[in-house]
Structures are given as structure tokens and as C-alpha cells.
Structure 1
Amino acid sequence: MAPEMSRPGGRTARVRSAVLAAAGDALIELGLPGLDLAELARRAGVGKTTVYRRWGSVPAVLEDLVTDMIETSAPRADTGSLDGDLLANAELVRSTLADPRQGPLLTALVCAAADDAGTARALRGFYDARTAVWEPCVTDAVARGELPAGTEPAAVVRAVSAPLYHQLLTRGTRPDTADAHRAAAATAAAARAGVFVSAGARRTS
């Protein structure tokens, strides 16, 4: 587990920002095996002692990097309709994956997670947190009668982003606007058809 980090302003915040930015850049360029704290300190322009004392290990830096991603992520949209909300979610994922830095960074984190349990745990936390932020778009749609009762919110949200991540990670191509529209429309149609209704809800219906 990453050490508990204070979030004050001033020099402490600047050091954290510089080291996390350096960690992201180095992870993209070198991969997990090429990272060490001395290199991160050099890239960030801070003392090695500061980095060793504050984080203590490369995995701890990466866990803090993911924590920062959670803290700075955009809020969910509330368009008033299922189709609008899912499209907004798909567009946010698309723009993130298509970003010249964020796309490669997420790809590098997925690769790092395969070799480090701490990074994997932190990355799962990131996706769980982002999914939870968008779940109300599904519960609101159920309340409005747009979706059947028992629809699993997390499953719907994950279904929107899954094809966009799949395209980036398996084909190496950044998703475009048409891909985002397709992912949102397909997920909305499947949700309306009851594909994401929980097994328990099916048994009691």
C-alpha cells in the first residue's frame, strides 16, 4: 500500500506534482523495469533523499500516481437521459485514451499492473472509483423508467468503456468519435433489452 500522503500546498505539493509527472513520463518511455527512484528524482529535479523518504519505492510512486488520477478525474455528466449520459461517458473515455499522453500512460500502467501487485491494486481502485462516479446515470435511468428494474449500474458503465480500451490495447489505435458513439449506442440498446439485469432480479421477476 502506498504511504499516506498529505495534500498541502506550497513546496510539498510542487514536489509531488513534479515526481508524479516524471513517473508517468518515465513509465511511458522505459516501462516498469526501467524505473528507479534516483531516475525519477533526476527527472523531477528534486533531491533523491526527498523521493526516498516520501515514497520509498517505485510501486509506491505509481500507486500515488493512480491516486492523483482519481483525484483529478472529471465528474460525471447529467444530461437527463440514458443515451446522453452514456454518450458523455464514452466521449470522456475516448478523449482520455486518444490523448497523446494519457493514452500511452494508461497503456503503460496496465502493462505495469501485470508485473506488480500494488500497481494492479491501485489501477483496479481507479477503475472502481470512476465506475462508481458514473453509476448514477444508470440508477437515474431505472428511476425514469428507461431501463428495467434490477439493471446492474457498474456492468452498464463498464460496457461503455470496454470496446474503447480493447481497441487501444489490442490494436494500438486510438478510438475516435464514431467508436464512442457506437459503444454508447450498443450499451444503451443492450441495457434496454435487459442484458444487464442481475440474476437475482431475473429470478424474482
Structure 2
Amino acid sequence: MASANSTERRGTIRTGGRSARVRAAVYEATLLEMRQRGYAALSIEDIAVRAGVHKTTIYRRWGTKDTLLAAAMGDLVEARVPVPDTGAIETDLRAYARLIVDVLTSDAGAILVAVLFSDAARAPEIAEVKRNHFAERQRLAAPLVERAIQRGELPADTDPHELIALMAAPIYYRLLVTGEPIDHAVGDRAALAALAAAPAVRPGR
């Protein structure tokens, strides 16, 4: 099974010039084809046409559409969502929830959802990208809760991962389950609900 890192090593050469331009064009074409056609209809031939390269170039570098899609997604999810540091847990959570909404409603976010929450995620390469993406998001957001614990705003044994997941859950529920629109008001409510439930987000609870 290829990891995201091994996929990158096999699928790309991080140099400038033509190699970088080809990689960028192929990644962009892959993500656009995925968004417009869906995973089942995604083909290397169509990607090659959109990218303006020969299909043998893609087969030689990436081998399969799953390996290529995983590499393109790995490149997309490298973008960091800044973790707020406003000095108070309530405003931190609200700001972070709004950032999640902004990402999910952006063009890049639409592609992210189209790939990570579709049949594409059944492919081992894509499943690994999905696991790594959300694990990294949790890791980066943990200091938001840890700082609140240090300030005495939250109990010392508050689980950072659980609290962040509790905040994000209503946003993803509306987006993926009910299909309702998400906006900053939704993010604010999710943040306040998570903060209200914070005393229960502790070991053994």
C-alpha cells in the first residue's frame, strides 16, 4: 500500500521548470475532473486531455488514477487552516468554527468533500490521505484547547481532540447528512454548543 509520502516520491519530482508545471497542471486537471465527473467516471485519459499532456506521462509518473488522485489530494490538503489565538476559548472556538465553514464552502473545500466523502475514499491510497488529513487537523487544533486549560477556562483533563470533534460535528452533519447550508452562524452555534458540553468532554465521561 502506498503512503501519501511514498505516493509523492513516486508520483512527483519536486523541482522547478517543466516538471513542476506538468505536475501542477495534472493535479489541477485531476481535481477538476473529479469534481465535475465523480470518481466512477474519472479517467487518466480525460485528465491528460484537460492537463494538455500525453496519457503516457501520467501513467509513467503515477501509474493508476488512485495513486494520482491521492497525490493531488495530498498536495491540496497541505494548506494549513490557521488556529486562532484570541486569548479566550469562546472566541477561539467561534473563530475556528468559522474557518472550517470558510474552507468547506470554498472551491478547494468542495473538491475535498467530493473526494474524501465519496466512493473514492474506499481506495486505500485515498483512505490514507483522509486519515492523515483529519489527524493533522486535530493535532494542529489541540493547542487551542490546551491554552484554555492553562488559562483556567476549561478543566485540566479536557480532551482537546474530543472537544474539537464536538465542535466540528454539527457543521459536517449539515453539510454531509442533511444537505443544509452552512455559514458563520452555524459555526457560531457549533462552537457555543461544544463549549457548553466541555465539562463532559473528559476521561471516563
Regarding TM over 0.5, the answer is: yes
Does 2:46 correspond to 1:39?
yes
Q: CA deviation at 1:115?
A: 3.1
CA distance in 1, matches of 2:175, 2:118: 13
Does 2:39 correspond to 1:19?
no
2:176 to 169, 186, 203: 169
Contact kept? 1:152, 1:196, Cα under 8 Å = yes
TM-score, normalization by structure 1: 0.88
CA distance in 2, matches of 1:49, 1:195: 55
Alignment coverage as a number of residue pairs:
197
Spell out structure 1 runs of 4+ moving beyond 6 A.
none
CA distance in 1, matches of 2:102, 2:93: 14
Contact kept? 1:66, 1:123, Cα under 8 Å = no
1:105 to 100, 108, 111: 111
Select between 139-148 and 80-89 the one with higher mean Cα deviation.
80-89
TM-score, normalization by structure 2: 0.88
1:17-38 per-residue CA deviation (whole Å, 9 max, x = no partner) reads 2212111111112111111212
Report what 2:76 is aligned to. Answer: 69
1:70-117 per-residue CA deviation (whole Å, 9 max, x = no partner) reads 322233222121112211211111012222x23432331110344322
Select between 154-163 and 137-146 the one with higher mean Cα deviation.
154-163
Report what 1:131 is aligned to. Answer: 138
Does 2:195 correspond to 1:188?
yes
CA RMSD, Structure 1 to Structure 2 (Å): 1.7
Q: CA deviation at 1:3?
A: 4.4
Does 2:22 correspond to 1:28?
no
Cα distance 1:70–1:106, how it changes in 2: closer, same or farther (>3 A)?
closer
Report what 1:158 is aligned to. Answer: 165
Gapped regions of structure 2 (runs ≥ 5): none
Report what 1:87 is aligned to. Answer: 94
Contact kept? 1:70, 1:129, Cα under 8 Å = no
Contact kept? 2:73, 2:112, Cα under 8 Å = no
Q: For 1:47, give the aligned amino acid.
A: H
CA distance in 1, matches of 2:95, 2:197: 17
Q: For 1:74, give the aligned amino acid.
A: V
Contact kept? 2:84, 2:92, Cα under 8 Å = yes
1:198 to 180, 194, 203: 203
Q: CA deviation at 1:137?
A: 0.2
* Percent of paired sites with the same residue: 38
